[in-house]
Amino acid sequence: MLANSDLALRLFLQLALILTVGRLVGWLARLIQQPQVVGEMIAGILLGPSLFGWVWPAAQGWLFPGQSMSLLFGLSQVGVALYMFLVGVEFHTGLLVGRLRRAFSVSLAGTLVPLALGAGIGYGLARQPGLFGAKAHPNDAALFLGTALAITAFPVLARIIQTRGLAGTPLGTLVLAAGAVSDGAAWCVLAVVLATLDHSWLLAAKAIGGAGAYAALVLTLGPKVFGRLNRQAERGGGVSQPILATTLLLVLLGAWFTDAIGIHPVLGAFLLGAAMPRGVLSRELLRLLEPVTVVLLLPLFFVYSGLNTRLDLVNTPTLWSITVLLLAAACVGKGGACWLAARFHGEEPRAALAVGTLMNARGLMELIIANIGLQRAIIQPPMFSMLVTMAIVTTLLATPAFEWVYGTRARRAGLLGPAV
């Protein structure tokens, strides 16, 4: 047993190492035109049993003792909840207006097709040893894998579009809107999976009823409460300590409530952020909270995921085949369906391909879902490692694929900014 003071000492070192490796690999990622988030996902894996723990198990075990996992987990949950709150704050529902039908169509195709594909594969693999939890019903396995294939990395997508200077363009708007609708739908399916997981009607009713009540409360009262805080911020010329404290309190309570009813903290935090009207408050909160969240807290989540990722567990031809199958199903099901839907609505071939490519990036969202699955014992470590691989590969593909299908002309037209 380590004393609290030893754990605190270790925490300083853990945070320092996580920061360093995250920034370093993130910087390498940016050198090859990849977003920082790809580097940080990989950094997490490097610090886990897949590399650091494999090369030097004693040092890895000393630096990340089992006892410190609860600390890292708690901190990473706070970090990811804060981050999803900020994603919610940045989330422009206004973008949907005008392009609603096309966006809806693309997102519907990009949700239903991978959902069906994933569910089919999930049913087929449900009894395969080592993939799904012993207590997970084949229905759970199917719906969970469907969600894992259907999810879109909305924040990554938003960042690529923003940094490429496409934020106001028809293409950018379409992809953002479709990504948002698609993500919303996937999270709803996940909420149902989580709610029905214990096959207890009481728990399911608590989860679904609680989530409905929470959504209703946040979407009706949220804009009013935040509107009031926003006017206070306007009068005071910024976010004062009481305003910041109130906002953080609401995020913590929202995360706690959606966690306590059996959904997930990120859903509560995201919804709360989405309920915030645009203004001084939302702008200042982003400016104030995003740097620390992105630089210090979010890497903890990547590393916590990486510490649970054991690529060495995916070690048989069967498991390799399943990994390839899942990756192919993810790319074809999501990217292909979005491409077709966009073509159907008259987007030109290049733009339709770009839509499919971007919608296919799963990034952080896939990690969140994989962690939920592992934590709730829906999946087992080998499947977790496959999903982490899927998260990284689909995100890695997005930028170069997008550059390839859309880049040359767009760069010539001066539309594309530098890679970030």
Q: Torsion angle of alpha carbons 354, 355, 360, 365, nearest 10°?
A: 120
CA pair distance 190, 367, nearest whole angstrom: 14
CB of 250 to a second copy, least distance (A): 9
CA pair distance 135, 414, nearest whole angstrom: 54
Whether 89 contacts 293, CB under 8 Å: no
Task: Rule CB under 8 A: say whether 375 interacts with a second copy.
Answer: yes
Task: Rule CB under 8 A: say whether 67 interacts with a second copy.
Answer: yes
* Residue 132 bridge partners (DSSP): 379
| Tokens of residue 407, six digits | 């880049």
Task: Rule CB under 8 A: say whether 248 interacts with a second copy.
Answer: yes
Only segment of 62-70, 111-119, 137-145, 361-369 that touches a second copy (CB under 8 A):
62-70
Strand, helix or coil at 80? helix
CB of 266 to a second copy, least distance (A): 12
Task: Rule CB under 8 A: say whether 415 interacts with a second copy.
Answer: no
User: Which one of 51, 73, 167, 325 is in contact with a second copy (CB under 8 A)?
Assistant: 73
Task: Rule CB under 8 A: say whether 158 interacts with a second copy.
Answer: no
Task: Rule CB under 8 A: say whether 112 interacts with a second copy.
Answer: no
C-alpha dihedral sign at 329, 331, 335, 336: negative
Task: Rule CB under 8 A: say whether 322 interacts with a second copy.
Answer: no
Residue in this structure with the two tokens 């169509």, named with its chain if needed? 105
Task: Rule CB under 8 A: say whether 217 interacts with a second copy.
Answer: no
CA pair distance 149, 330, nearest whole angstrom: 5
Task: Rule CB under 8 A: say whether 236 interacts with a second copy.
Answer: no
Binding mask 256-295 for a second copy (x = CB under 8 A): x--xx----x----------------------xx-xx-xx
Count of CA atoms in the C-beta half-sphere (13 A) of 237: 0
CA pair distance 355, 347, nearest whole angstrom: 10
Residues that bind a second copy (CB under 8 A): 4-5, 7-9, 11-13, 15-16, 19-20, 23, 27, 36, 67, 69-71, 73-75, 77-78, 81, 239, 241-242, 244-245, 248-249, 252-253, 255-256, 259-260, 265, 288-289, 291-292, 294-296, 375
